[in-house]
Structure 1
Amino acid sequence: MPVIVLEASDFTSPLFLVRTWEVLSGCITFSLVASLEPPNPLSDLHSTFRIFCMFVWCFFFTLTLLIHILSIIQFHSLIPVSWKNLTMTTAVLGALMGLSASVVFAWMVMDHGGRLTHTVAAAVASCITFLAYSSETYVLRTQAHEQRGYMGSNPGLLKILQLWGGCNMIPLVMEVVHSQGSASGLPSKVLSWQLWVSTALYGVCVLMSLVTVVVILGDLAGRCFLPFDKCLAAFSMIGVLLYMVATVICFTKILQLKELGNRAPTGVTELIIMETVVASITLLAYTVDLAFSIKLLCDRSHA
């Protein structure tokens, strides 16, 4: 089969330019961070966040590069996935995860007094990468509704937001439990129990989001044993219940920190605030998505 490449005019299209921007800025970001050699201002940072940021930059760089190459040689029609849903999911999730990595990395640099040229340049490059994925999201959202796919609709964007929330909550909870245990001297069994319960709670939500996204990307909704719209409503209901519990726990932690006042462990306050913000946003996403699912089921029942 002959290889078909884009026409000359396509190389100056907004979508081609913005994806090139994503690949270049993503490569610069993780290259700058990888070039940091100990000792450096980030040597004592939490390893969980360092791994999280590096994984986000490397994963979306690789995925975007593959999408970019397949778009150029026009081989995307041979892949057994919904291409319009895949590109939209990558753009939106890349923007959200890029924002998280940028905020976390900048917080780590400022919190630990890092002012080296490489660390500041990496933080700036991460923000530029976030802007690149945000620009692709805007370009794709301006296309016709048929070209966006389901993930470009409001329910689809909410599902991407839910996946983003779950992916952020797991490393946040791990760091909160670790920091609280180090400061309070809790027994290892208690810390392990808290960590396993929290990880299981958010892991269930991440698993449901991943299943939903995979089914949509693979156009597998018609092959499900149960009606897919009812499964989506059930997933949203479970997500609302679990994140309601998580949000209550987060606000309880904030009240406990308020009672401690100046005796609160250093660094734990910022982590718990970030955990509460992410949990609240994700709870809102599940709640709105549940409303969409109920409305869809009601419309179909009356049709």
Structure 2
Amino acid sequence: MPLITFPTSQLLWVRVAAVLFTCVAFSVVAQGGALPHGGMADWCIFCWAFSFACTLLVLLVEQFGLQARIPVSWSNFPITIACYAALLCFSASIIFPVFFLKDQHYNKEVRDHRIASTVFSCLATVVYIAEVSLTKARPGEVAGYMATAPGLLKVCQTFVACVIFILVSDPVSYDQHAALKWCMAVYCICFILSMAVVVLCLGECTGCLPIPFSKFLSAYGLLAVTMYLTATIIWPVFQFDKQYQGRSRASSNVIAVAVLTALNFLLYLADLVYTARLVFVSV
């Protein structure tokens, strides 16, 4: 498969900036941020460290011309990493100040370290968005699936599902009714299938499916939209309706899950529309 060529000078500097910003974000807070162990602190550190390591890998591979030696599709891998990194840094840019800057009383040095990490996390988010914008497929351009709108939507779908898993598991909020367990099944099934598509594209294994990849995407997209539509309706009904809720009040996690479920439904709907256009236009 031919590699996609981009204006390397601009893309190179964007990736160098991403490596520097993420490195500073976790280095500064690790040195003087006085963060507690576990919970959201570890999540933010993971977001920055993962993005730094993966972007550095992409940078080194491309600079040394080792694309052919890497056992992944290089037309799909860099933009997938950039999209995940943008979402991870964006989440850290929101979570970190909310948990570790708002209403916190620390000495000036610790607070300055945390403010610096927040600023560099925001800068990293911007440059990763710029990288995705530079490397995504343009109209009429031959590119890997992950560089197209449906491919990028797959990344967003899996990321939102991961956030949902975190919210529903601490504390567990889906074991009160069978309907809520169905919602959890929807999240798991759709996440597994979306992640399977990402892995198949990265490994260039789409030809291993027993049916054409385009038909698989269309069938799966329709199934996912239908399933998420049920979850979008069922989750708030069984969590917010007093008839099923009992005396307990809906927590902020439950409300967030309802919002993210509706968001993922819209992402899957947009994915289905884009996939249908790609399939029928190509036919």
TM-score, normalization by structure 1: 0.75
Confirm or deny: 8 A CA contact 2:180 2:238 kept in the other structure. no
Structure 2 residue ranges without an equivalent (≥5): 1-6
Aligned partner of 1:132 in structure 2 is 127
Q: Which structure: greater helix fraction? A: 1
Assess if the C-alpha contact under 8 Å between 2:161 and 2:191 holds in 1.
yes
Instruction: Return the offset for 1:199.
Output: 5.3
8 Å Cα contact 2:218-2:276 kept in structure 1? yes
Match of 1:3 in 2: none
Aligned length: 269
Q: Does 1:18 align with 2:17?
A: no
Aligned residues of 1:49 and 1:171 also touching (Cα < 8 A): no
Letter in 2 for 1:106: P
What's the offset of the Cα at 1:82? 1.9
Partner of 2:79: 88
Unaligned segments of structure 1, at least 5 residues: 1-8, 182-189
Structure 2 residue aligned with 1:6 = none
Instruction: For residue 63 of structure 1, report the CA deviation from its aligned partner.
Output: 0.9
Secondary structure, counterpart of 1:214 in structure 2:
helix
Amino acid across the alignment from 1:169: I
Please say if 1:78 is aligned against 2:69.
yes
**1:32 aligns to 2:14 (yes or no):** no
2:274 to 292, 296, 302: 292
Aligned AA (1:100): S
Query: Partners of 1:35 and 1:250 in 2: how far apart?
Result: 42
Corresponding residue for residue 204 of structure 1: 189
Shift of 1:117: 1.7
For the residues of structure 2 that align with 1:220 and 1:168, how far apart are their CA atoms? 27
Shift of 1:280: 1.9
Match of 2:76, SS state, is helix
2:180–2:234 Cα contact (<8 Å) kept: no
1-structure distance, mates of 2:74, 2:10: 18
Are 1:173 and 1:195, in contact at CA under 8 Å, matched by a contact in 2? no
Contact 1:60–1:94, Cα closer than 8 Å, also in 2: yes
State the identity as a percent.
30
TM-score after normalising by structure 2? 0.79
Correspondent of 1:274 among 253, 256, 262: 256
User: What is the CA RMSD across the aligned residues, in angstroms?
Assistant: 3.4
Q: Quick check: 2:101–2:114 contact (8 Å CA) kept in 1? A: no
What residue identity is the alignment partner of 2:36? S
Matched, 1:56 2:47: yes
